[in-house]
Amino acid sequence: MPPPTPKTLSPIQSAAEIIRKSKRGVVLSGAGISTPSGIPDFRSPHSGLWSKVEPLEVASALSFRYDPLRFFEWLRPLARQILTAEPNAAHLAVSRLQQMGFIQTIVTQNIDGLHQKAGSKNVLEVHGTFGTMTCVKCYTKVSSQPYLRPYLEQGMIPRCPSCGGILKPDVILFGEQMPYQPWRQAQKASQHCDLMIVAGSSLEVLPVARLPMQAVERGAHLIIINHTPTYLDVRADVVFSDDVAVILPQIVAEILRQTPAE
């Protein structure tokens, strides 16, 4: 891990001090926390997934209904990247902060499961998960695991074991509602937290982008780590326009330095 530079030393110290005083912290993570693990984001001008294809044509509830094969063809390389990716330093830092008792809840817009691979608990996947699939005909829900290898290696479309209908991964497509329980829990955590850390999210996707505002309006501290500006930068205690996989480990190291040895 590279040492803090003079430019970022003071903000790192400030962020560490804020985190050390928190007891009900929430991390809101977006695509930027997983790009260092090799997973492309959606909105970067040249490398993002939506720079190559119109999202409503392949990743909407309507397009899936009428042309599921195109969806699965588009998803296949991305699914392979997601399922072989490993947590990076940012995921591990979030897990460490949770183990230290400063972070209670992780709200993620990602569907890659890397927070869980890093050892984090109480991860709310508000945009769905690859872990399960649901039949579009009879609504049977199954584990994705038995279907992944035939799909990734041979392109076999997952079929329901009960009725033969197509199994749709439980990721949220355009035009679909977010999963009720994770979203309700995310709202509750945001409304009762004393700190929110935005890690790798541009805060452009609603309604998740409103969660940090809910926290700030109830008196919570706000730390934002993201390459590009967000609409809430002016309300944040500390803002880092940098790589979350660099900054978060530096903050953890500073917390350990500030914490007296027992």
The residues carrying an active-site annotation are 127
Identity of residue 75: L
Whether residue 120 contacts residue 106, with contact meaning beta carbons closer than 8 Å, is answered with yes
Whether residue 132 contacts residue 236, with contact meaning beta carbons closer than 8 Å, is answered with no
Identity of residue 62: L
Tokens of 76: 């296949």
Question: Up-side HSE of residue 195: CA atoms within 13 Å toward CB?
Answer: 24
Whether residue 221 contacts residue 197, with contact meaning beta carbons closer than 8 Å, is answered with no
Q: CA 220, 253, 255 angle in degrees (round to 5)?
A: 40
| Residues 132, 111: Cα–Cα separation, whole Å | 11
Tokens of 131: 């872990």
Please report, for residues 90, 161, 249, 252, the alpha-carbon distance to residue 3 in angstroms, rounded to integers and kept in the order given.
15, 53, 10, 12
Q: Is-cis flag, bond preceding 207, omega within 30?
A: yes
Tokens of 197: 């850390």
Tell me the backbone φ, ψ of residue 20, rounded to 5 degrees.
-60, -25
